[in-house]
Structure 1
Amino acid sequence: MTMSIAAKHAKGKSAQDKIFGANAAAVAAAAKYGKDAVTNATIGAILDEDEKLVCLPTVEEVFRGLSTNEMIAYAPISGLPEYLDCVLTAAFGNSRPEGYISAVATAGGTGAIHHAIWNYTDNGDTVLCSDWYWGAYKVLCQDMGRNFTTYKMLDENNKFNLPALKEKVDELLAKQDNLLYLLNTPAHNPTGYSLSGEDMD
């Protein structure tokens, strides 16, 4: 008999990510049938012609030029102030909204999603996403005692389905004070769909 000392809410948790599962299947198929017979477009990473990870040369040059102290020293929990200011500039450019805005550093995109769910919804609230989504979103919500629901992202003409989104937003805001809407664009993962300027308006 195996004994676990994990807290009750954490026992037995596991998940098989569909994207990583599809990647494993594609890698196995390439090994079996040959790389020329399989196109693996499952993981959101850029590979070169030799299937090695690609890093932007400018990023690599800056990273390799950092001193050891710059690479390993503790940063403030919320992130370096200069970095956070640059994030806001990159996010909003010349269209910075009037009012309070702030940035915080996280450990990757999944960390940002986790923090958004935890900090902008209450226990029992429902988080909204399109019906094409990365499975980890739902797992993160469930792990924090939040519900997860979707709307049909594309209409019958494969256009952004604003009426379906509006209906779901109205439904949720009738039941809860805050609404967190997870929207990845451009190139919404895993759809590859990007909102147009008109969609964004």
Structure 2
Amino acid sequence: MTRLTHRDVPTVGVGGPVGSGKTALLSELVPRLREAGLDVGVIANDILTQADADALRERFAGVVPPDLVAGVETGACPHTGIREDPSMNIQQIDAFLADHPELDLVLVESGGDNLGATFNPELADYWLFVISVAEGEDIPRKRGPGVVDCDLLVVNKTDLAPHVDVDLDVLREDAEAVREGPVVFTDCKASDGIGAVERHVTEGVLFA
């Protein structure tokens, strides 16, 4: 029997600063992918904790088998495990496939990091970067590699715009000016924009 490896399953990276809403986005996105008939594994990266993985495992109870939600403790800046040395994440994907060769997709969430976080192409076939409206209107203008180079930029927490004095039209114009790829605005609390994220992910990875 041929042994499957991480290269046998499409992998999507999910990056972004602390508090941008990566975990909230996954909480909305993964059930939709499951409803679409996809078998999904989820990895949450953090420095020295399993907190995000535990939260996602609880959130996905009855939706995703608990052994398909795993935490990777990088022991250093989170981007180390997704960019410089993705071996721990790759090993976890291989472990998923050893028990679940039917997997259709793996989502890898990075720990919170700055605008410079990117995903090693050896790890992620497609990656999205999540920023929050609450971080300010000028985030796209800073042109961090995460914002500019990602396959999909997600601007989250749009519901907060009136409370933090952010003009969403200006934010959109600036985001589209600094990058060539798509931009989706989301409000995870209201599930707004999640369908668009799902379409970009599935079309970008599964049907590319």
TM-score interval, normalised by the smaller of the two chains: 0.3 to 0.5
Task: Select the structure of larger CA radius of gyration.
Answer: 1
TM-score, with structure 1 as normaliser: 0.33
Structure in which a larger fraction of residues adopt strand: 2
TM-score, with structure 2 as normaliser: 0.32
